[in-house]
Structure 1
């Protein structure tokens, strides 16, 4: 069971190159000569997108553990 958690942790901490900009944002930001602003906007979008998924996953794991703990106590 711990191997699954370790594997999940490694996958979550892996760095993937994600593109999260909409077409309009990309067109406006890439038309400028300096692409550092486009990269900053993209990183901000990815950051804002990831936080709710992490919170929901944490809540799901918490509920799963509580449920399994109660069912184990009922079997004893």
Structure 2
């Protein structure tokens, strides 16, 4: 188990550099387009960020709702409180 955790940790540590490079490229593209008067790419990028931000919370909320509903149905079925 320790070997797997070390492999995952080092894999994530090495991939971080590539992720940071993408942020600089996106920022440069948006700044260039904004200076030319085009706001479409910046608005699309902001929408994408919000979409990626909301989806995990929405997925956890849906799973939690069905889990709660299932547990309530089981408690009524077996008579426990």
Pairwise TM-score range, normalised by the shorter structure: 0.5 to 0.7
The TM-score with structure 1 as length reference comes to 0.56
- 5+ residue gaps, structure 2, are 1-25
Q: Return structure 1 stretches of 4+ with deviation > 6 angstroms.
A: none
Taking only aligned residues, the RMSD between alpha carbons, in angstroms, comes to 2.2
Aligned length in residues? 53
Unaligned runs of 5+ in 1: 1-24
Larger radius of gyration: 2
TM-score, length-normalised on structure 2? Answer: 0.53
Q: Higher helix fraction: Structure 1 or Structure 2?
A: 2
Task: Name which structure has the greater RCO, CA cutoff 8 Å, separation 6+.
Answer: 1
